[in-house]
Amino acid sequence: MAQISTIAYYDGHIVNHADASLPITSSAVLYGMSVYTVALLSHTPNGLYGFRLGDHFRRLRESAAMIGMRDADYSDEHLSNALQLLVRAVAPTRDMFARITIHATADIPGVRTAGITPKLSIFLYDATAILPMDGASLKTSTFRRTRDDAIPARAKVNGAYVNSCLAKQDAMDSGCDDALFLNHDGFVSELTAANIFLVRDNTLITPDTASDILEGITRRTIIDAALRDGITVCERRVALTEVYTADEVFACGTSTFVAPITSVDHRCIGDGTIGVQTRWAKEILTTAQRTDNEYTTLL
Ligand code: PMP
């Protein structure tokens, strides 16, 4: 279990994280009506860097707007000040993840999304990767990815993560590290908390943004770097058997970094080792996290 900072930011204050609690009557507790993001804070000799925070803040606002939390329009400045307040109080000495959540509260709950008071919370925890870095195994999930017209995967909504919990537990019970979601059309979508890339004939292929995925910030970082480095990238629908026959497969996300996938449904991917493009993706992500136009200095 990753270690969590003992203090947290909650609704304008720095508090003990155990005291940052929501009423049992809140829509956040009753219906999972909260939106969140997780950002990497890198501890370096030159300071503490927050990776692509502007993108995280925008996605958080867009997630709230998509599900109709109309009163949760926190500005970059507001979110940044809150994070700064916590970071100064914790003064991390190692890499951390910052989980930033907007919770919907309501005195008289009901299944609605507007007119409910938002509350912002942030806590930090150790930046430990959630998948093995030396080759992870996937199982195609029997649970399909929630459709865009049910609960959009594009919005990072806490309640929607029941879908991920079901799939992840099922995969782990079967002895695999994570699940591979198909969408309702039967095409590859993503993992439970990461995006997926395939390499076939030196081309990077990833499910497009209409494949019921979360539009990952790490995914975007890899696509941008590939375009810059002259690597062909294709965002399109992906069939499961393309994954089985790929030369390489890797997962990417803030909490996954770049994780090589060496088996899917007990089929070996490529030669079962970490491929050249996967190593390239790992390297460019580490470089991007230390590149000054990609990060904000927090401490
Ligand atoms: N898909 C899902 C379902 C996720 O939960 C995450 C983690 N936020 C990702 C993809 C990767 O997104 P990001 O690169 O922004 O962390």
Tell me the best of 35, 145, 162, 195 to mutate to test the pocket of ligand 1, counting ligand atoms within 8 Å of each CB and taking the most.
195
User: Is the CB of 177 within 6 Å of ligand 1?
Assistant: no
Mean pLDDT, all residues of the chain: 95
Over the stretch 170-183, which tens digit does the pLDDT of each residue have?
Answer: 999 999 999 999 99
Q: Going by CA atoms, what residue is nearest to atom 4 of ligand 1? A: 193
Q: Atom of ligand 1 at shortest distance to CA of 156?
A: 5
pLDDT digits 0-9 by tens, 70-125: 888 899 999 999 999 999 999 999 999 999 999 998 766 688 888 888 999 999 99
Question: How confident is the model at residue 183, as a pLDDT?
Answer: 98
pLDDT of residue 116: 83
Residue among 156, 153, 155 at smallest CA distance from 37: 156
**Which residues lie across from 100 on neighbouring strands?**
37, 122
**Ligand 1 geometric centre to CA of 173 (Å):** 22
Residue entry with tokens 């494949």:
211
pLDDT in tens, 36-51: 999 999 999 989 999 9
pLDDT of residue 109: 65
Query: Rounded to the nearest whole angstrom, what is the distance from the C-alpha of residue 174 to the centroid of ligand 1?
Result: 23
pLDDT of residue 264: 98
Residue nearest to atom 10 of ligand 1 (CA): 194
Q: 267 pairs with which residues across the strands? A: 264
Which atom of ligand 1 has the smallest separation from the CA of 59? 15
What is the CA(108)–ligand 1 centre distance, in A?
Answer: 32
Distance 184 CA to ligand 1 centre (A): 19
Q: Is 160 in the pocket of ligand 1 (CB under 6 A)?
A: no
Tens of pLDDT, residue by residue over 218-270, are: 999 999 999 999 999 999 999 999 999 999 999 999 999 999 999 999 999 99
* Closest-lying ligand 1 atom to the alpha carbon of residue 37: 8
pLDDT band at 295 (very low <50, low <70, confident <90, very high): confident
* Residue carrying the six token digits 């497009």: 208
User: How much is the pLDDT for 106?
Assistant: 75
Distance 255 CA to ligand 1 centre (A): 8
CA 135 to chain centre: 19
The one-character DSSP state at 112 is: -
pLDDT at 73: 86
State residue 111's pLDDT score: 83
Residues contacting residue 291 through CB under 8 Å, at least 6 positions apart: none
- Residues 284 and 258: their CA atoms lie apart, in Å, by 10
> Ligand 1 centroid vs 12 CA: distance in angstroms?
27
Quote the pLDDT of residue 293: 82
Ligand 1 centroid–CA 48 distance in Å is 22
Return the best residue to mutate from 164, 166, 254 for the ligand 1 pocket (most ligand atoms within 8 A of CB). Answer: 254
124, 49 contact by CB (below 8 A)? no
User: Minimal CA–CA distance to 157: which of 216, 211, 103?
Assistant: 103
Nearest 10 degrees: Cα torsion 291, 294, 297, 298: -130
Q: Is 230 helix (H, G, I), strand (E, B) or coil?
A: coil
pTM above 0.85, yes or no: yes
32-48 as b/e: b if 16+ CB within 10 A = ebbbbbbbbbbeeeeeb
The answer to whether 127 and 41 are in contact (CB under 8 A) is yes
Beta strands in the chain (DSSP E): 7-10, 13-16, 34-44, 47-51, 96-105, 117-126, 136-140, 178-182, 188-191, 195-200, 203-207, 233-236, 248-253, 257-264, 267-268, 295-297
Residue 64 pLDDT greater than 90, yes or no = yes
Distance CA 24, CA 67 (A): 21
Residue 259: predicted pLDDT: 98
